[in-house]
Amino acid sequence: MHPILRNERLSPNVTRLVLEAPRIAEIRQPGPFVIVHLGRGAERIPLTIADGDAEAGTISLVIQAIGKSTTDLVEVPVGGAIADVAGPLGRPTELPESGRVVCVGGGVGTAVILPIAQELHRRGVAVTSIIGGRSREWVIMEAELGACGEVVPCTDDGSDGLPGFVTPALAHVLAGGVGGQGLQGGNINLDIEMSGVGEHTAVLHHLEVRDVDHVLVARSRDDKVGLRGGDT
């Protein structure tokens, strides 16, 4: 059994669970996931390990409640427990040892880039995170990513950061930033980890990223129109 130590609502339909899983916390790396089984008769759900604390023996899972299984999971209270957590599974994300990286995430997909940004920061890599949400209340993990470097929030309604989706913000950065200032040094290696982002336009300002060496894009399965936070 894996006791729930913290249950925190991050946005209207996204919840962070912090649970005891000492072995996983000790060996986790950015990229791998776990399979969570709440109990008898419950569905087995794959979830990214969004964060962890090896010393405390805990991991954090960020869950979007979109059906019965995920709703049941996020409703487990502090003091409750998850029966089985298997992992870590999958291969660690290959990350550079130097340079500048732009990490892009929308909605619950923002949780995917957090462990990546943390590890890049630990290595001394300069990190800029571009994150999206439908409005301010849908933007998640801005503070956590801010501990790793610059954060550029984007919202559909302009209530936080830049107005519009994150995709035009990223395109604008790669095209040369703000005010005609070009990217200085380093070849751009665009590594799309999940495809299918849409094309949108937005008014952009106050965004300057230079020496971009890699771009890592994370996208949730439920985000069918573009990188945004949301109620999908």
Query: Distance between CA atoms of 61 and 45, rounded to whole angstroms?
Result: 11
Residues, the chain? 232
Cα 133–chain centre separation: 12
Map residue 19 onto helix, strand or coil: strand
What pLDDT was estimated at residue 172? 64
What pLDDT was estimated at residue 9? 95
Query: Distance between CA atoms of 148 and 128, rounded to whole angstroms?
Result: 8
Mean pLDDT over 86-100 rounds to 88
pLDDT, tens digit (0-9, with 9 covering 90-100), for 100-119: 888 888 888 899 999 999 99
Whether 2-89 and 100-218 share one fold: the answer is no
pTM exceeds 0.75 for this model: yes
How far from 143 is each of 52, 59, 147, 153, CA to CA, in Å? 16, 18, 7, 11
Amino acid at 17: L
Q: Where does 100-218 sit in CATH, by number? A: 3.40.50.80
Domain spans, the chain: 2-89, 100-218
What residues pair up with 72 in beta bridges, in sequence order? none
Does the pLDDT value for residue 232 go beyond 60? no
Cα 110–chain centre separation: 2
What six digits make up the tokens of 45? 């759900």
- Average per-residue pLDDT in the chain? 78
Is the CB of residue 133 less than 8 Å from the CB of residue 111?
A: no
What pLDDT was estimated at residue 206? 36
Task: Of 107, 90, 61, 63, give the one whose Cα is nearest residue 217.
Answer: 107
Cα 154–chain centre separation: 14
Is the CB of residue 1 less than 8 Å from the CB of residue 82?
A: yes
Mean pLDDT over 67-88 rounds to 94
Amino acid at 84: D
CATH label, 2-89, candidates 2.40.30.10, 3.10.350.10, 2.60.40.10, 3.30.420.40: 2.40.30.10
What pLDDT was estimated at residue 176? 55
Map residue 202 onto helix, strand or coil: coil
Task: Of 8, 69, 7, give the one whose Cα is nearest residue 35.
Answer: 69
DSSP readout, 152-200?
A: EEEETTSSSSEES-HHHHHHHHHHT-STTPPP-SS--EEEESS------
Does the pLDDT value for residue 185 go beyond 50? no
